[in-house]
Structure 1
Amino acid sequence: MLSMFKTQIFYVKIRENSFNIKCIDSGENIVLDAKTPFSSKRLLIGEFEVAEKLLRSGFKKLIKGFIAPIAVKHPLELVDDKLSGVEEKIFREIALSAGARKVKLWLGDELTDQELLSV
């Protein structure tokens, strides 16, 4: 019963036209490949509405309870040394629009479940 009120953490790895979402609490993992592309040649998320709709569908499949999740977004492609301000805003806004209550961005090596808890 208390699990209905626990905040879930979703680790969202982003590749061209694909989201890999893992719920850290349950270990459940889903991969969503876009039927309609959302990436462009220069941007991992070039079509906001298409990507937001796909991400929202993934969140709905994984959310257990009433509390919106925290999303740790990890772009894995089309990223140089750092993100531009526009890219940061896109990654944050898309997760919030999809149903996250808080968003953290991560650049670097893929994170373990334990590392995700401290990000």
Structure 2
Amino acid sequence: MLKSFFEEKLYVRVGVNQFEIDNLSTGKSTIVTAADPFTTRRLLVGEFSSAESQLRDGIRRAQKPGLFRRSPAVVIHPLDMIEDGLCQVESRLFMELAAGAGAHRFVLWTGSRLSPRQALEKLDQV
């Protein structure tokens, strides 16, 4: 209970070479446009290392400033290039992307865009 009170919760939308990050705890938002493209012709995240470092930077910018940064809980939502759904490899990629960028808990969502309240509900289900 106490842990969830101090936990920062983020909603990360992944587009072509872009992350949109909303801090559901503070209302702060940031957009990270890739300096090094991570989207390839066939995959939304084809260059994993580039995407991971840019997502890590975006998460830092979306979090509250302070001496200690907490590992956030994240809803990660791919928006593009998922017309036929995600295969197991792509699902694993997004989970590894969130974990590698610092998330300690994450949910992969592939439906329509979520409101902040809906994103919080998804995190509370995990």
TM-score with structure 1 length normalisation?
0.91
Match of 2:33 in 1: 33
Partner residue of 1:88 out of 85, 88, 91: 91
1:62 aligns with 2:62: yes
Q: Distance in 1 between matches of 2:107 and 2:86?
A: 13
Could you tell me how far 1:66 is from its partner in structure 2? 4.3
Match of 1:118 in 2: 121
Q: Distance in 2 between matches of 1:90 and 1:107?
A: 14
Could you tell me how far 1:81 is from its partner in structure 2? 3.6
Match of 1:11 in 2: 11
Q: CA-to-partner distance for each residue in 1:70-102, whole Å, 9 max, x for gaps?
A: 110110000024210000111010110110001
CA RMSD of aligned residues (A): 1.7
Q: Which runs of 5+ in 1 are unaligned?
A: none
1:72 aligns with 2:75: yes
Identity over aligned residues, as a percent?
37
Could you tell me how far 1:42 is from its partner in structure 2? 1.1
Q: Secondary structure at the match of 1:10?
A: strand
Q: Distance in 1 between matches of 2:61 and 2:99?
A: 16
Could you tell me how far 1:63 is from its partner in structure 2? 2.5
Q: Secondary structure at the match of 1:88?
A: helix
Please identify runs of 4+ aligned residues in structure 1 that moved more than 4 A. none
Q: CA-to-partner distance for each residue in 1:9-56, whole Å, 9 max, x for gaps?
A: 110001000000000011100000001110011110000000001000
Q: Secondary structure at the match of 2:90?
A: helix
Q: Distance in 1 between matches of 2:82 and 2:19?
A: 15
